[in-house]
Structure 1
Amino acid sequence: MAASCVPIFIVLLFLSSFCKSDDDTLTQAKPLFSSDKLVSKGGDFALGFFSPTSSNTSLYLGVWYNTIPARTVVWVANRDSPIAASSSATLAITNSSDLVLSDAQGLASWATKTNIVAGGAGTAAVLLDTGNFVLRSPNGTYIWQSFDHPTDTLIPSMKFVASYGAQVVGRLIAWKSSDDPSSGDFSCGLDPTSPALQMLIRNGSKLYYRGVWNGATVSGGTYSSNDDSIVYQVNVGQGGEVSLTLNVSDGSPLTRIVLEHTGKLTSLSWINQSWVVIGSRPDAACGIYSSCGPFGYCDFTKAVPVCQCLDGFQPNGLDVSSGCRRTETLTCSKQSHFVALPGMKVPDKSLHIPNRSFDDCTAECNSDCSCTAYAYRSLSSVIARVSLPRCLVWKGELIDTGKYNGNTSFTAGTYPNLGENLYLRLADTNGIKAHIRSAGNRQNKGILKRQILGHFSSSSEITDKIIEFPFISFEDVVAATNNFSDSNQIGMGGFGKVYKGMIDGGKEVAIKRLSEGSRQDATRQHVLDWPTRFKIIKGVARGLLYLHQDSRLTIIHRDLKASNILLDTEMNPKISDFGMATIFGENQQQGNTARVAGTYGYMSPEYMMEGSFSVKSDTYSFGVLLLEIVSGLKISSAQLTMNYPSLTNFAWKLWEDGKACELVDSSIFETCPLHEVLRCIHVGLLCVEDHPNDRPLMSSVIFSLENESALLPSPKQPLYFAQINCKTKETRDYTENSMNTITITTLQGR
């Protein structure tokens, strides 16, 4: 009996191997039948026949994830011509090297068109580890691939060619319903006729949603969690080819972008045995195309996005849903000026003015009284490392505009800022706006400052309505400080003494400095626990956001450091010492100085080496400050070894080696939530990156700190500066600013 078992076992093993059909290749001699499937070599994807409903009335040929329990289909061949489930189905390679799907009667349900006369004997169809189903010629050339014919889904490594020149090449088309793969009403693709590089979702022929990428060669951004990253990349190739590619790093979860049957374009990752939504567009009712009407915008900075009117406009009716109208009529016979609106999704129906600098773009719109707005962006080419200027202008109504707070979901623009500056034309009124317009350029920065200070003292009404800064008279300052009494002095800044006092019915001006709490004693360990430090980090970030974006004026601090952060009795931080601050004009995004002034270690590379500064210079300083707060070390602390003379260099090395937790101050290490502290270190390293364009805006910094689910890019190694003589660490140029300036930081509001 035992002897007879041996040959039976061998026969069963042989039959099992012979009948197994779930390898990755299909040949002319080996077609695919209804009960068969192909499995990619890595085992991640399967191709075969499926029925999406329990009724099993129809068969579809598709590709799905093979390693997860819930069947998730990413590609369907015969979505609009299913085969009856009662009939057997066959996928075969013909003599003309085509794939043909047919039923039991031999009627073709779907076929490729390779236009090859002969050669089928050597042709093979292979399901690759990427999920791409390819038809391969005998010499290995791909003569057809499923990635070139997507249905409703994009997966990593798929190059989705959206347009070529002015022709739409590819579109995603949603399923008709969650269990019906046939072509639905919603489609998604790029608009090749728009200079703004727009992604459009249509409901039939009606425009449903418009997304704008604010980069050309590479856009979308890199998002990561620890060592896992997801890259959404828009590429503009030779000949005007525009394509979208989704890439992930090794170890990242399964990720896909799908156009749902509801019309939403959604990014999902397989986390903890379920599909988790990473981002979705549109994600608000007012995000649907033109929901806010002419000159209205969807304000995504709100917890619940709502329609708002652009600056200088008011609702046409009881709410903004019917659009907005100007509060001051704009005519060609009336003087006008431009206001900068940061973080905006630019409107639809723009005109592209080629080969223009920022100043040329401004002049182009300024010289045409019918021009209502313009936007300029220098688009970076990652391959060529060059700037590609893009000047957009608008005439007439502004439609489908939005305002963002730095959310970095997958349909965003170049990381980390979703929007860009929109310069809106408004009619002049009597007062400060016309003066700012006439003085808002780099050459007249000093005139602009003097005019604003003059308006502070001459018109409290204008100050309250336009400038949003409180006016405090010199007499009030003298009274609050008891005539600058030594008993009211709390410290010494780079431009003079710092005092505390009570003004305006009990507003406290300044209490103590963060640097005073840096001593390693029991008081510091108790007061500056992690919740307090995290509160300070977020408070300083919000203060910078106010200076850079939320204030009517763009203010660059230029000397952000620990000793310039004041804390009240509740440990709320306030940014102080604006002696080196610079106010940017309306159209200004960058400044330059021949005299570099600041504090060594906190100065950004472009400012230190070239005298160039912007809001990203303050971002760099904030990153240094953040790393100091987390570590308890100074930027060039004596506690660092000779191998790491800079805190930024030390932090980067620990991060690169996977030892970032060693940077955390030992006094808080045992009690702090490590994931929160590591996220702060991650953000800090992003802020101190070498190139300004790689650093996040403060809106994105705040969003990243307050949203643990937000994915972050992997930081790059910061530029290393050799330490200079300690006596020159504080390098201020006192001739650049007036010594007669009094700086006041109040503790109410930012």
Structure 2
Amino acid sequence: MRKLTMNSTEFFFVSTVLLIFLAHLPSSISVTLDAITPNQPLREDDVLLSPTKIFALGFFKPGNSRNRYIGVWYNKIPIKTIVWIANRENPIVPTAGTGLLAIHGGHGGLVIYGEDQNNPIWSANLTVSSPNNSVIAKLSDKGNLVVEINGEKVWQGFDYPTDTVLPFMKIGLDRRSRLNRFLTSWKSQDDPGMGNCSLRMEPSGSPQEFLYMGQTPLYRTGPLTSERWSGVPEMAKLFFTNVTFVNNQDEVSIMEVLYESNFVKLVIDESGNIERSAWDAEVQKWVRHWSPDWQCDFYGVCGPNSICYPFSNFADKFECKCLPGFEPKLQHEWYLRHWSGGCVRQKGSSVCQNGEGFVNLERVKVPDTSTARVNMNRSREACTEECLRNCSCTAYANADERQGGSGCITWHGDLMDTRTYLDTGQDLSVRVDATVLAQYAKKSNSSFGKKRKLEVSVACGLLFFLLFSLACWLVKRKRKGKRSQDKLFNVTIASTSEDSFARTNIDESGINSELPFFELSTIVKATNNFASNNKLGRGGFGSVYKGVLDNGKEIAVKRLAKNSGQGIGEFKNEVVLLSKLQHRNLVRIIGCCVQDEEKMLIYEYLPNKSLDFFIFAKGAFLDWTRRFEIICGIARGILYLHQDSRLRIIHRDLKASNVLLDSYMNPKISDFGMARIFGAEQIEANTNRVVGTYGYMSPEYAMEGLFSVKSDVYSFGVLLLEIVTGRKNTSYYHDSPYSNLVGHVWDLWKESRALEIIDSFLGESYPVDEVLRCIHIALLCVQEQANDRPLMSAVVSMMGNDAAIPSPKRPGFLLKRSYHTSGDPSANTEGTYSINDITHTGVEGR
């Protein structure tokens, strides 16, 4: 029998004809594949499954896009979760016909075709001499698309990550081939192309991962200390993985090995947020296990030679302090909580002199190690000596935490991006002169000298304390038992001041049948008994916690502090108001809880925190398009309050921290504790109890207690300027006689230099006319006389069209002066209102 043979030209012709034939098969016929071969391509309705069907590969359309892509997703999860994309930069557009993923030797091995079978849309760029049955593409149970020739792996999708890290996927640099594996975000929810955010390994110094927005660092993990990143203490207890770290002449990389049967992933989204989550089969959703603590993890938030404390009592939940031996570079900026200038050596301080030494800081994320020096053969004692001998050495730490610490990292120059932790972290030794060293030694000795006295005091007082506590508990329990017999728990919402505006009853069945009532036990369970790791923030009223109800719904719980004088009025206000207000740009209240001594409001959970978090600390996360959408959303929300709602509401405390952002970055106005209801024909009201926040108050309200819808317009104008500039109104400007943002912008506007104040994070990527129009509208809103300011209906109209608008008059600046009145407009004091943007709820005239 004669054996048939085929040369390469003939094979190429036959395979091309076969591919064209297969591509034009009816789309209704779908096939489940376990491999892609030269004779078996993947068509648009086909699915390639991994051996145990954990992962699937096929064509998909993201969001509302009509473009098609080849992607990998979890096959056993009902929520389609894309974890890898082949042609993210080369989509199959609607006009490109039917897609096909095939093996083709002449076009790069593994290719994606559209309608044109001669020009691939995408290829793996493989060199395959001639396609034959030994070339095969498979999907592994790890989610890795692999191409093999004769059983040998020649290409894998894991070498080209998209926005997701899976277990067994390496992130890092292959020093031999220069292949750099890193994550890049999607451009948008409808476009998986390479966005502006990336997470990549930085191999210099002691390697660490950095999150970038363009070229700007936003976050870093810190160096690897043993089995975790220095800046990710949660790795040891939440990640379900073991870490494999390689740093040698061939590569520097990290890979996590899954040791539990969980579906886990780490994703970087188009806004630059990093989130690590695991699939929860009970609630059928991805549950977040970790993301950066942006209050202190935002890169360089405190500037050089400083340290961030995230557990202070400030309203924005973190505080910056200078490292030992350093002082603020710009004292007035530091006083205003503008910390980016950082710290410098104290005046008169001199290192490399007799008597100097080190102050040890415990439980920290060590400074940026990009330029640090590493010696893994040094003990801690040898590290101390080495740093002392080198006058340029500013600090040192152990490179490895295990077995008491080993290895040596030394810093030479500024110490950037240091923070503390509550119960974990590394020790950092900071170099100080003899004077500072003596001061710290004195503090330490003083604390030790008091120890014995404390021991005696505690021993003597412990028994008395226990007995007293027991007696109080018995009395309290008896009183509660008596109250519980009443069964109906009524709270009359009323006020004896002129701020009284409504009355309602809260009982165990609800609030006027309009607002659901939650049992205390339900809220305790949802918040894990108000666990500290569920705490979202705090204010004068108390604290806010994240919770998850039994049905999987995420909530935010505003818990009124039992000993808070401030907050009861706000609670009453919000119960009445938010139960009656419904708008997409107002935060939605879900219910309340009033039981025993607890008073709580339950809101929808908004994952992206508040606006001030983005524009003052994370400005790089918001491009101009997003900022303008937020501006318009806030304006629509205020217009609803002033004109379109059932009640006519004056908010009275509109500011950046009271604008929350949902998962799609839509703004929602919150915190109606200071709000007032106006009658339909009412124009203006007077109060002798001025409430609000310094920097956002209109002049007539701060000075005379007069408020109206124009008071909110003024606050909106200030907020609009802050969004455009990325600066607080309380910022100090040396060259401005008014020394605040409004005054500074006014000066620049008069000189046609307004573009100079625009947030530098925007670069040049913004429409100049639109930005200038926003500044123009803001200046109209902050005019000194209330009658000169536009109504919110006019503001919304001006935002939406290009019609001519009037020139602004002189704004009201307040000149960093705050006022309170008791019917007397002349009564005023300096500095009554907080420069820290903390809301004042009871500033009575004296």
TM normalised by structure 2 equals 0.46
Aligned pair partner of 1:274 in 275, 285, 289:
285
Give 1:300 shift.
3.6
Give 1:218 shift.
7.2
Change (3 A) 1:133 1:156: same
**2:385 match: secondary structure:** helix
The CA distance in 1 between the partners of 2:236 and 2:353, in whole Å, is 53
Match of 2:583 in 1: none
- 2:383 maps to 1:366: no
Deviation string, structure 1 residues 627-662 (Cα, Å, up to 9, x no partner): xxxxxxxxxxxxxxxxxxxxxxxxxxxxxxxxxxxx
The CA distance in 2 between the partners of 1:369 and 1:509, in whole Å, is 51
- 2:243 maps to 1:233: yes
The CA distance in 2 between the partners of 1:128 and 1:374, in whole Å, is 44
The CA distance in 2 between the partners of 1:166 and 1:397, in whole Å, is 34
Deviation string, structure 1 residues 338-371 (Cα, Å, up to 9, x no partner): 1111112121244315332222211111122332
- 2:253 maps to 1:243: yes
The CA distance in 1 between the partners of 2:179 and 2:366, in whole Å, is 22
Match of 1:651 in 2: none
The CA distance in 1 between the partners of 2:176 and 2:433, in whole Å, is 39
Q: State the superposition RMSD in angstroms.
A: 3.6
Match of 1:44 in 2: 54
Give 1:62 shift.
0.6
**1:70 match: secondary structure:** coil
Give 1:152 shift.
1.0
Aligned pair partner of 1:77 in 80, 86, 91:
86
Deviation string, structure 1 residues 145-175 (Cα, Å, up to 9, x no partner): 1111111111122233444379562111111
Give 1:322 shift.
2.4
The CA distance in 2 between the partners of 1:191 and 1:431, in whole Å, is 34
Change (3 A) 1:376 1:129: closer
Change (3 A) 1:509 1:53: closer
Supply the AA of the counterpart residue of 2:98.
Answer: S
Give 1:211 shift.
1.5
Deviation string, structure 1 residues 677-704 (Cα, Å, up to 9, x no partner): xxxxxxxxxxxxxxxxxxxxxxxxxxxx
- 2:324 maps to 1:311: yes
Match of 2:38 in 1: 28
The CA distance in 1 between the partners of 2:399 and 2:195, in whole Å, is 36
Q: Which moved more, 1:314-323 or 1:356-365?
A: 314-323
Supply the AA of the counterpart residue of 1:200.
Answer: F
Change (3 A) 1:237 1:333: closer
Deviation string, structure 1 residues 265-303 (Cα, Å, up to 9, x no partner): 22111112111111112x214322111111112224458
Give 1:72 shift.
1.0
- 2:216 maps to 1:197: no
Match of 2:447 in 1: 468
Contact 2:228 2:235 in 1 (8 A): no
What does 1:490-639 correspond to in 2, within 5 Å?
508=460, 511=463
The CA distance in 2 between the partners of 1:250 and 1:399, in whole Å, is 36
Match of 2:196 in 1: 185
The CA distance in 2 between the partners of 1:431 and 1:110, in whole Å, is 63
Give 1:264 shift.
2.2
What does 1:437-448 correspond to in 2, within 5 Å?
none
The CA distance in 2 between the partners of 1:73 and 1:313, in whole Å, is 48
- 2:414 maps to 1:397: yes
Give 1:102 shift.
1.1
Match of 2:358 in 1: 338
The CA distance in 1 between the partners of 2:408 and 2:55, in whole Å, is 44
Contact 1:231 1:247 in 2 (8 A): yes
Match of 2:432 in 1: 426
The CA distance in 2 between the partners of 1:47 and 1:500, in whole Å, is 69
Contact 1:266 1:279 in 2 (8 A): yes
The CA distance in 2 between the partners of 1:115 and 1:144, in whole Å, is 10
Match of 1:111 in 2: 123
**1:27 match: secondary structure:** coil
Give 1:378 shift.
3.9
**1:360 match: secondary structure:** helix
Deviation string, structure 1 residues 549-570 (Cα, Å, up to 9, x no partner): xxxxxxxxxxxxxxxxxxxxxx
Match of 2:530 in 1: none
Deviation string, structure 1 residues 428-448 (Cα, Å, up to 9, x no partner): 2288459x5xxxxxxxxxxxx
Match of 1:153 in 2: 164
Give 1:83 shift.
0.8
Change (3 A) 1:353 1:235: closer
Change (3 A) 1:336 1:250: closer
**2:126 match: secondary structure:** coil
Question: Unpaired runs of 5+ in structure 2?
Answer: 1-24, 467-846
Give 1:330 shift.
2.8
**2:63 match: secondary structure:** coil
The CA distance in 2 between the partners of 1:389 and 1:217, in whole Å, is 14
The CA distance in 1 between the partners of 2:364 and 2:253, in whole Å, is 24
Give 1:82 shift.
0.6
Change (3 A) 1:387 1:350: farther
- How many pairs align? 423
Match of 1:375 in 2: 397
Give 1:393 shift.
1.6
Supply the AA of the counterpart residue of 2:365.
Answer: K
The CA distance in 2 between the partners of 1:378 and 1:250, in whole Å, is 26
Give 1:231 shift.
1.1
The CA distance in 1 between the partners of 2:234 and 2:181, in whole Å, is 24
The CA distance in 2 between the partners of 1:469 and 1:285, in whole Å, is 33
Aligned pair partner of 2:139 in 107, 114, 127:
127
Give 1:40 shift.
2.0
The CA distance in 2 between the partners of 1:334 and 1:215, in whole Å, is 32
Give 1:76 shift.
0.6
The CA distance in 1 between the partners of 2:343 and 2:194, in whole Å, is 38
TM normalised by structure 1 equals 0.51
The CA distance in 2 between the partners of 1:121 and 1:364, in whole Å, is 62
Contact 1:234 1:242 in 2 (8 A): no
Contact 1:337 1:433 in 2 (8 A): no
Supply the AA of the counterpart residue of 2:170.
Answer: K
Deviation string, structure 1 residues 700-720 (Cα, Å, up to 9, x no partner): xxxxxxxxxxxxxxxxxxxxx
Contact 2:172 2:201 in 1 (8 A): no
Aligned pair partner of 1:347 in 362, 367, 383:
367
The CA distance in 2 between the partners of 1:210 and 1:356, in whole Å, is 25
Match of 1:164 in 2: 175
Deviation string, structure 1 residues 400-441 (Cα, Å, up to 9, x no partner): 1111224xxxxxxxxxx4x3111111122288459x5xxxxx
The CA distance in 2 between the partners of 1:251 and 1:421, in whole Å, is 35
The CA distance in 1 between the partners of 2:180 and 2:405, in whole Å, is 24
**2:167 match: secondary structure:** coil
The CA distance in 2 between the partners of 1:165 and 1:328, in whole Å, is 48
Contact 1:132 1:146 in 2 (8 A): yes
Contact 1:162 1:189 in 2 (8 A): no
Change (3 A) 1:188 1:248: same
Supply the AA of the counterpart residue of 1:340.
Answer: N
What does 1:700-739 correspond to in 2, within 5 Å?
none
Give 1:119 shift.
4.0
Give 1:91 shift.
0.8
**Aligned residues: percent identity?**
32
Contact 2:102 2:110 in 1 (8 A): yes
Contact 2:69 2:87 in 1 (8 A): yes
Contact 1:92 1:101 in 2 (8 A): yes
The CA distance in 2 between the partners of 1:237 and 1:356, in whole Å, is 18
The CA distance in 2 between the partners of 1:365 and 1:224, in whole Å, is 30
Match of 1:59 in 2: 68
Aligned pair partner of 1:212 in 219, 222, 243:
222
